[in-house]
Amino acid sequence: MIFRLPLPSLPTMNRTSAYALILLFTLLFVVLFGGSSQLAAYLNPAPALVLTSHIPLIAPTALLYISLPLFLLYAACKLDTAAQWRFFLLLTSELIIASIAFQLYPVHVHFMQPENPQGAWQTLLRIAHGMGMSHNYLPSLHCAFATTAAAMLHRAVSPPRRLAVWLYAVAVNISTLTIHAHHLLDLIAGNALAWLLWLPMRQLTCRTQAGFQAQMLWLDNQIQFARRHPRYALISVILYSQYPLHPKRSKLMIAGYCFLQAYDDIMDGDRALIGSLKTSAAANSITPQQHADPIIQQWHSYAAACSAQPALRQPETAYRQPETALSDLPALAHLFNQQLAQLPSYAEAHAEVAQLLRLMQADAHRAQHRQLYPQAQLQQHMNQTFISSLNLLFIAQQCATRAAHVPELVRALAWCSTTRDWDDDLACGIINIPAEVWHAAQLAPDAADGRAISQNSTIAAWLAQQKQHAEQDLRELLFRLPHIQQQDPAAAKIVRLFARSVQRFAQKRYVKRFEG
């Protein structure tokens, strides 16, 4: 699969990728390197080679030795996403091979000059030797990591800095000798390991880069969601918790969640477009609903392509992100369609997504013009949003149940959405109050204070009535739940999850916000 990241997201993507890989590699290093040292303690080490035993101890070079982690962090943050993945694969493969070598051929070091510096230098040497553990010598991972980082940075930095990078790597290599942490053979083996893995890891990177970039794009978007509201972090935890047992299903859910939530955020104005009125590029401004048109067109093109040539439904298809992309949406749409295309009910699922995109675009239009819908139209709009959402979820879980079988849940979710996002929606111009009720309350056309609006006697009475209807729907739904459990256990889990969630909202958050 050919996959190119949307250019506007590269800075945040690089940071997300760097932090994720740094965390993962740190965990691997602690487990493998630390575990290897503990295991090697029970083995009989081979005699040390005394060819370099007369190298003098130079305590200040311990500063170079212990600075290597900072150099690795610098490299990870300086590289682009693709290079970060290759860097991670190189370091991880070196770590794995070295950890095995430490067990197969454990050695120890031996130097003629005693290590007896005083004061701060003694403390520094203890820290340096503590980093290297007691039994992990051949090959030297310090040398392998320093050389690998310099090689990866060679094309990522300007020519004047390249010399500094390589000089630093050489200095770190030498410091392993001058602080008596390694012998010359360890240094040679570490560098040989780095260069022997260079080409194989390049090939592995090419084969796995697309999948890695997709995961980083999803992770980057989920971080943006969680920054806006903590509840999105909980959703991400739930989705990723299913990954070990159901990787395909989890990947589909993550892809759909990221695409549809990012699209919704852009339509609601919670995420700015590159070149939108929320940025400095006002001359090329475009509204969210205008941006939705090419996304919807792109989505419809998938159905047409699959109808004309079913082979295109296979997940490994080519995609090139336009360099002028205003958001992540084109890439997210492509990735979601790839996952969705593997379902037997692809056509039905594709149609539900298209319906959701149009409904969210309509919300953007409503927000821009502060448009009021009559009660029947508003109810239809809200219900259809959750009909499509539930149907998509049921299809993803390969359930026979559809939203038409649980109309009570559709209405309860519509009510919950209206009241949960009451203040935010009204502030941005999305009015989920029927036109008849709005006019009866004699509210100003530009009224946007959700708290003041909810305190209006007419609105308060309408809210209380809507809550009663929602609670009645929940009671009827929970009464029917055992029957749904018998017919479709997977669907029953989904229904129960949402019903309990809405019920908790009605009993706690709604009461605190509207009745407190």
**Ramachandran bin of 275, using left for φ above 0, alpha for ψ from -120 to 50, beta for the remaining angles:** left
Percent of residues, the chain, with pLDDT higher than 90 = 67
Phi and psi for 107 in degrees, rounded to 5?
-130, 175
pLDDT recorded at residue 50: 54
Give residue-wise pLDDT tens across range 75-90.
Answer: 999 999 999 999 999 9
Question: C-alpha distances in angstroms, 183 versus 49, 149, 397?
Answer: 8, 21, 58
Amino acid (one-letter) located at 76: A
Q: Mark out the alpha helices in 488-505 (DSSP H runs).
A: 489-504
pLDDT recorded at residue 8: 41
Cis omega (within 30 of 0) for bond into 114: no
CA distance 112 to 54: 6
Close Cβ partners of 61 (under 8 Å, ≥ 6 residues apart): 171, 174, 175, 178, 179
Close Cβ partners of 349 (under 8 Å, ≥ 6 residues apart): 340, 343, 391, 392, 395, 396
Give residue-wise pLDDT tens across range 21-39.
Answer: 999 999 999 999 888 877 7
E strands, 278-437, in order: none
CA distance 236 to 221: 10
The predicted model scores a pTM of 0.83
pLDDT recorded at residue 109: 66
Give residue-wise pLDDT tens across range 49-80.
Answer: 555 567 788 888 889 999 999 999 999 999 99
User: Would you place residue 179 in the very low, low, confident or very high pLDDT band (cuts 50, 70, 90)?
Assistant: confident
Q: Check residues 357 and 113 and name the one with the higher pLDDT.
A: 357
